[in-house]
């Protein structure tokens, strides 16, 4: 199932907004670090690209316009790389160990009376992100401390 680049970028943005950035999850998932780095890149890389291009053109002149544009394109591509990784990751199915953990958390949350989505046969990281976000928002700290 091949996806277009624009679909992957949109999925990456949605996944970045959904994934909970909690201290407990940083050691378990690389997604936390990628989300934090991508948010940083989205915020700061466009000004850095403009600054780098302007500095190169001011220092070396218009003879270095192709090199300045290449440096600017490099800095502008960094947020897109993070979004593409997150988009691809959001559509991957969970490995068996995480799938079992997902089912356990879903069962416990239903027992606590939380409104959660219907369980998926083959859950993806997208569903795990939604479940973890709901768990951290709706449940008390004692319950989440038990799982993390």
pLDDT tens-digit profile of 87-124? 999 999 999 999 999 988 888 888 877 777 777 788 99
d(CA 11, CA 24): 24
Quickly list DSSP for 108-132: HHHHHT---PPPPSS-BHHHHHHHH
Full residue range of the structural domain in which residue 109 is found:
93-148
∠ CA 34-105-28, nearest 5°, is 30
Same domain assignment for residues 8 and 81: yes
CB 86 within 8 A of CB 31: yes
Q: 36 near 20, Cβ under 8 Å? A: no
Say what the pLDDT of residue 117 is: 74
Residues 82 and 100 in one domain: no
Top-confidence residue, 146 or 61: 61
Measure the N-to-C terminal CA separation of the chain; round to a whole number of Å. Answer: 33
Domain final position from 91, 114, 137 = 91
Whole-prediction pTM: 0.85
Which of 43, 60, 91 is at the close of a domain?
Answer: 91
């Amino acid at each position: 199932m091949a996806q277009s680049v624009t679909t992957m970028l949109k999925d990456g943005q949605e996944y970045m907004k959904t994934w909970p950035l909690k201290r407990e999850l940083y050691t378990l998932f690389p997604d936390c670090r990628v989300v934090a780095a991508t948010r940083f890149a989205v915020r700061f890389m466009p000004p850095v690209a403009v600054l780098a291009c302007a500095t190169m053109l001011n220092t070396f002149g218009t003879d270095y316009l192709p090199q300045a544009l290449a440096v600017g394109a490099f800095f502008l591509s960094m947020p897109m790389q993070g979004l593409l990784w997150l988009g691809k990751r959001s559509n991957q199915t969970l490995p068996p160990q995480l799938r079992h953990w997902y089912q356990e958390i879903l069962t416990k949350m239903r027992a606590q009376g939380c409104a959660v989505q219907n369980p998926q046969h083959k859950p993806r990281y997208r569903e795990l992100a939604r479940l973890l976000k709901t768990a951290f928002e709706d449940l008390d700290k004692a319950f989440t401390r038990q799982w993390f």
